[in-house]
Chain A
Amino acid sequence: GENVEQHPSTLSVQEGDSAVIKCTYSDSASNYFPWYKQELGKRPQLIIDIRSNVGEKKDQRIAVTLNKTAKHFSLHITETQPEDSAVYFCAASMGGYQKVTFGTGTKLQVIP
């Protein structure tokens, strides 16, 4: 089955700096890669996703890149703000297949 590894497990950045979270996956058939943000005590929320037919996708301060050859994808947050502090989960799944495999999460702390 699919195996998703996520690094780092914790990340502290100064407000205004950029944050990068990296994930690798094992199954080359995976072609859908969502990212979820989970604030303390709250539900996970989808923040951005990318499919394998594109290499990069941006939404304001958030961007995701995908390297299918290397089987890794990354989340980039620019101009970080305290409200970006949360646990971020990457995930991978095969198109048309229902089981999304999640990474173990990255706890991001943005220091004001």
Chain B
Amino acid sequence: GAGVSQSPSNKVTEKGKDVELRCDPISGHTALYWYRQRLGQGLEFLIYFQGNSAPDKSGLPSDRFSAERTGESVSTLTIQRTQQEDSAVYLCASSLGVEDGRTFGSGTRLTVV
């Protein structure tokens, strides 16, 4: 597609429920990243995928967080047993290669009530 697409754009969920966030990267971009942005704060790295290599999961805050990517296409970020502190905007980005600038999606605003 023309840009990085994320869905849903907004998600309100009850504490304890699981949520799944989706990211469609730009076609041909081998690298895909997930970031978390809390209100008024900077971007917090979560996870990185590069082609078929093992992902870098070093930014995932707990084992409730997981992500998958099939080849060089869609990625899903799953948060299990959501907590209120998980409320944030979750941004996905992709780049042609690891050393190229990232194009961000519009994000998913997650609110845990």
Which residues of chain A have a CB within 8 Å of any CB of chain B? Answer: 32, 34, 36, 42-46, 49, 89, 95-105
Contacts and interface: CB of A to CB of B under 8 A. Distances in A.
Contact of A43 (B98, B99, B105): B105
B58 interface: yes
Contacts of B18: none
A97 to B, nearest CB: 7
Contact of A46 (B33, B91, B101, B107): B101
Contacts of B33: 98, 100
B56 A98 contact: yes
A46 B45 contact: no
B99 A46 contact: no
Given A44-B43, A104-B41, A104-B42, A98 B91 contact: no
Interface in B29-62: 31, 33, 41-45, 48, 50, 56, 58-59
Contacts of A105: 41-42
Interface of B: 31, 33, 41-45, 48, 50, 56, 58-59, 91, 98-99, 101-107
A99 B59 contact: yes
10 nearest CB pairs, A to B:
A46-B101, A43-B104, A98-B48, A102-B43, A104-B42, A44-B104, A102-B42, A98-B98, A105-B42, A43-B106
B106 to A, nearest CB: 5
A96 B50 CA distance: 11
A103 B43 CA distance: 8
5 contacts: A36-B104, A44-B104, A98-B50, A98-B56, A103-B42
Given A49-B101, A100-B102, A43 B48 contact: no
A43 to B, nearest CB: 4
A102 B43 CA distance: 6
Contacts of B42: 89, 102-105
Given A98-B56, A102-B43, A104-B42, A46 B50 contact: no
Contact of A99 (B56, B91, B101, B106): B56
